[in-house]
Amino acid sequence: MAHVTGTHRPSHAKMKFMEKPLASGPPELFARVDDYVASNAAAAASEGFVFTTLDRAVNWARKNSIWPMSFGLACCAIEMMSMSASRFDIARFGAEVFRGSPRQSDLMIIAGRVSNKMAPVIRHLYQQMPEPKWAISMGACATSTGVFNNYALVPVNQVIPIDVFVPGCPPRPEQLIYSILLLQKKIDESSGTVKQVLNLA
């Protein structure tokens, strides 16, 4: 039989933590941050060296700041939108800044079927994106015309070069996030980045 043991008491360690309340306002919080910086300055100074190559540094910056274009073609676009919302939150991977203009984007996600009428528009938008740029084909329709395999549609790799293909109808937001992780890996592993930037490649 269970016994009621009276009021729950916090442990000793927990009580010690509670003796020091969280910052009650910005001045106190800032004072704590300043104290921390001052007391850890010596440690930071002794560990302040990072060795890398210029290529790796540029690749690291690029892979963590992918800006997709706000562009959807069909039902797959709903999953793409949900990827950027709070439940899946692509911001965790630095790719949440969906841009309204191809000139500010470096990733085109083909989310939906590509019709013969739309193909020239997609190509035109892709050409307006600055280098370096990448493209993801999302869903069966974009990749192979899917269940709408007829004269009106065209696989997207016949229109623009594709870096990652995502299977499914529709793919879940997690799949699209995984494709962005694969793209990040591809960007991270690319070589000759600086030479390309300087037009020496």
Interface residues with ligand SF4 (CB under 6 A)?
74-76, 112-113, 139-141, 146, 169-170
Question: Closest Cα partner for 69 from 29, 23, 100?
Answer: 100
Closer residue to ligand SF4 in complex, CB, 175/196: 175
Quote the least distance from Cβ 133 to ligand SF4, whole Å.
22
Which residue, 158, 62, 152, 64, is CA-closest to 110?
158
Please give the biggest Cα pair distance in the chain. Answer: 80
Of 115 and 190, the one with the shorter C-beta distance to ligand SF4 is 115
Give min distance, CB of 139 to ligand SF4, in A: 3
Instruction: Give the angle 164-166-172 at the CA atoms, nearest 5°.
Output: 140
Residues 83 and 188: their CA atoms lie apart, in Å, by 22
Q: How far is the CB of 19 from ligand SF4 (least distance, A)?
A: 56
User: Minimum CB separation from ligand SF4 for residue 87, in Å?
Assistant: 18
C-beta closer to ligand SF4: residue 66 or 110? 110
The torsion defined by the Cα of 23, 26, 31 and 33, in degrees rounded to 10, comes to 80
Which residue, 137 or 184, is less far from ligand SF4 as judged by CB? 137
